Structure 1
Amino acid sequence: MSSNQDKTIVVFSATGAQGGSVVDSLLDAGYKVVGITRNTESSSAQALKKKGVQLATGDTNDANTYKEALKGAYGVFVNVDFWSVYKATGYNADAAAKEEIRQATDAFKAAQEAGVKHVVYSTLDDKTQAPHWQSKADASKWANQNGIPITNLIITAYWENITSFSLIQAKEDGTYVLNLPLLDDTKHWGFPVADTGLWARAAFENPDKWIGKDLYAVSGEETTAEMAQILSEISGKKVDTLHLTKEYFNSEAMKKQLGDEMWHNWDLFIENRITRDVKASMQVAPRASDFKTWAKNNEGVKKLLGL
C-alpha cells in the first residue's frame, strides 16, 4: 500500500462507467488518482472529488486539453467512447473508427511524451468484422508497434446493457422475455462494467506481468437460454428468450431493426468470432461477480422483473 501512495494514475473519462470503476479500485489500493473529465463542475465529477480524486479538465478529442495532467503520472487508464464519436459523425462507422483510433493514439503519444510508465487501454478483439471492435483493436496494435508500455484490457459485453436498454420485458401473460438478439445456444461472454477496475488495478499492480500483454475482463459465459433460466431462478418468475433463429437474425428485417453496427456486434457472438477463458480471467480478479450474483443484486434487474 505504501508504494502505491507515491504513484499517480490518470483515469480518462473518470465519470463514466468504466472510468468510475477504475477510480474506485485504485483509490482502494492507495493510489493517487487524477480524473479527467470534460466538466469538472458536474455532480458526478464533484462526487469523485469528495472521494479524494484530483480533477482535471480534458477531452480525448483534443490532446492539448489533458497533456498537462499526465505530467508526473506513473500510469494512465485510457478509454475512448466510440458511440459518441459515431453519433458525431452522423453514424458513419468508418469515419467513427478512424476518429476513435486517432483519439486513442493521441492519448498514447501524450502519455509517452509525459514519461508515463504504464498505460492500461480498454480495448476489444481483432478481426471480429464489427467496426467498433476493430477500431479499438487497431489502436492496440499501433501501441504495441510503437513502444507504448501498454496492457490491452480486452473487455466484452456489459451485463448492465440488460438494464440500460431494458432488455427484460414483461409480457401480457405475466411472464417475461430476455430481449437479447442471440440464438438460445449463443454464449454471451460478459462481465459487470462496475468490476472493470478490478482488472485494471491488477494490471497496474503487476507491471512486469502485464505490460505488453493482453488481459481479458470476463466473468461469465452463459448462453442466452442459461441467462434466462438464471433470471427465472432468482426471480421466481418465468423468463423466456426470443427463440431467435439464425435465418431470422440474418434477415434484412433484423438488420434494419438493430442497425448495421449493432447487428455486426451480435453477429460476432453468434458466429463465435471471440472466445474467453473465464477461469483464467477470474483468477486475476477473483472479486468480480458472476452473472447470477450480479443479476441477483442488481437494482435495475430487480426493477425490470418487478421485484
Structure 2
Amino acid sequence: MAKLITVFGATGIQGGSLVRALLQDGSYKVRGITRNVESEKAKTLAQQGVEMVKASMDDAASLEKAMEGSYGVFAVTNYWELMDQAKETEMGKNMVDVARKVGVKHFVFSGLQSVKKAIGKPCPHLEGKAEVEEYMFASGLPASSVRYAMYMDNIWAALTPQKVADGEFVWNVPMENKAVDMIYAGEAGRAVAAIFKNPDQYIGKSVGLSGDRKTMSQYCDILNAILEAESVHVSPTQMTAKEFSQMPFPAADDLGVMFEFFQTEHPCYSREETKRLDSKTFDFQAFVKDNKEKILAVLK
C-alpha cells in the first residue's frame, strides 16, 4: 500500500509545489490540508486525486484528523497572515506535538535560521520558524527542516522592481553588493519530495534550498539580457539594509534586518545539495526564461 504524505498549505506556493511533485512521482497517496476545501484551488487538487481535508493549526483536534494515518507530513506556517511571531510559533509547535502523538514517521518543516542568535537583532518572520525548528528537533520526532532561500517568485509579488522612468526599474533588494541565495519556490517541491524519499539521509538534518547565488547586479544583468528586446531595464537599488528598514510600510524594519542577515556569512544554503535533491532545480536565468511573460506583465 502506498504511503500517505499529508501536505499543509496544499494550495499555497510551497505546499502546492510539493503536491505537484508527489503526484508526478506517483509513489505516494497525497492528502492536502487547507482551511477552505471549497476554494477553486482545493477543488482542482481533489479532481487530481488529492484527498482534501480542512484543518486549522490552532485546533489540535483538527490537526489529529489531518495527520491520522500519515507516514509523512509537510508543515509550513505563514507569519505574514497574522504578523504575530508568538502565534506562528504556537501553531508550529502544535503541529509537532500532534505529529508525535499520531506517530508520523517523517515530519518535514519549512523552517528558517535564528537571526537573533546570528546577529543579535530581532527578525520576527524568520525567528518564529527558527523556534519551531529547534523545538521539533528537540522533541524526538523523526524530522527534517527545509529552509527556503529568498524566493525568485517574489519578483512578481513582494519584491517587484519599482518603476522610476519609462522602461526603467529599480529592484529594491538592499544587498549592498553582497551575493544572496534565491530559490524558485514554485518548483522546489521536487527537492522536498526527494527528502521524503531518502529519510535515512535527511532525518535530523536541515537543508537550505537554493537555486542560485549572485549579487543583485548580476541578477539584474540576467534580467536585462533576457528582457532587452522589450525595452525594459532593471537596476539594483543603491539603498542600504538600514535605509530599507526605515521605509514607510509594515514590517520594513523586519525585512531590513533580514537583508542585513543575508549579507553575513551566517545563512546556510546549498546549491549543490539542492541540485542533488533535484537535478532540474532552476537557476535564475532558467527562471526568468520560464516566466518571461509573467515578469513583463507585472513590470508593464
TM score, norm. by length of structure 1: 0.88
Identify if the C-alpha distance between structure 1 residues 254 and 273 changes in structure 2 by more than 3 Å, giving closer, same or farther. farther
1:59 aligns with 2:56: yes
Give the partner amino acid of 2:124: P
Taking the aligned partners of 1:265 and 1:252, their CA distance within structure 2 comes to 11
Partner of 2:223: 231
Residues 123, 153 of structure 1: 8 Å contact kept: yes
Partner of 2:242: 250
1:241 aligns with 2:236: yes
1:78 aligns with 2:57: no
- Out of 25, 32, 35, the position equivalent to 1:35 is 32
Query: How big is each residue's C-alpha offset from its partner over 1:121-158, in whole Å with a ceiling of 9 and x where there is no partner?
Result: 00111334422212111111111111011011111211
Give the partner amino acid of 1:278: R
Q: Residue 160 of structure 1: CA displacement? A: 1.0
- Out of 231, 251, 255, the position equivalent to 1:262 is 255
Q: Residue 227 of structure 1: CA displacement? A: 0.7
Taking the aligned partners of 2:158 and 2:88, their CA distance within structure 1 comes to 24
Secondary structure of residue in 1 paired with 2:90:
helix
Residues 9, 34 of structure 2: 8 Å contact kept: yes
Query: How big is each residue's C-alpha offset from its partner over 1:244-293, in whole Å with a ceiling of 9 and x where there is no partner?
Result: 3x4xx424873545622222222212344314231232122111111111
Q: Report which stretch shifted further, 274-283 or 206-215.
A: 274-283
Q: Residue 173 of structure 1: CA displacement? A: 4.3
Residues 246, 253 of structure 2: 8 Å contact kept: no
Partner of 2:160: 167
- Out of 12, 15, 22, the position equivalent to 1:16 is 12
Secondary structure of residue in 2 paired with 1:189:
strand
Q: Unmatched 5+ residue regions in structure 1? A: 87-95
**Aligned-residue CA RMSD (Å):** 1.9
Residues 64, 98 of structure 2: 8 Å contact kept: yes
Query: How big is each residue's C-alpha offset from its partner over 1:26-52, in whole Å with a ceiling of 9 and x where there is no partner?
Result: 111111101111011111110111111
Q: Report which stretch shifted further, 35-44 or 62-71.
A: 62-71
Q: 4+ runs of 1 displaced by more than 4 Å? A: 255-258
- Out of 22, 26, 33, the position equivalent to 1:26 is 22
Residues 73, 116 of structure 1: 8 Å contact kept: yes
Taking the aligned partners of 1:34 and 1:187, their CA distance within structure 2 comes to 38
Give the partner amino acid of 2:62: T
- Out of 37, 62, 87, the position equivalent to 1:99 is 87
Secondary structure of residue in 1 paired with 2:109:
strand
Residues 152, 182 of structure 2: 8 Å contact kept: yes
Give the partner amino acid of 1:240: S
1:120 aligns with 2:108: yes
Partner of 1:139: 132
Give the partner amino acid of 2:110: S
In the comparison of the two structures, how many residue pairs are matched?
Answer: 289
Give the partner amino acid of 1:36: I
1:203 aligns with 2:195: yes
Taking the aligned partners of 1:288 and 1:196, their CA distance within structure 2 comes to 7
Q: Residue 305 of structure 1: CA displacement? A: 4.7
Secondary structure of residue in 1 paired with 2:180:
coil
Taking the aligned partners of 1:251 and 1:85, their CA distance within structure 2 comes to 25
Query: How big is each residue's C-alpha offset from its partner over 1:206-228, in whole Å with a ceiling of 9 and x where there is no partner?
Result: 01111111122111111111111
Partner of 1:284: 277
Residues 245, 253 of structure 2: 8 Å contact kept: no
Q: Residue 53 of structure 1: CA displacement? A: 0.3
Q: Would you tell me which structure has more strand in proportion to its own residues?
A: 2
Taking the aligned partners of 1:252 and 1:218, their CA distance within structure 2 comes to 24
Residues 36, 66 of structure 1: 8 Å contact kept: no
Secondary structure of residue in 2 paired with 1:160:
helix
Identify if the C-alpha distance between structure 1 residues 243 and 78 changes in structure 2 by more than 3 Å, giving closer, same or farther. same
Q: Unmatched 5+ residue regions in structure 2? A: none
- Out of 161, 171, 174, the position equivalent to 1:181 is 174
Q: Residue 301 of structure 1: CA displacement? A: 1.2
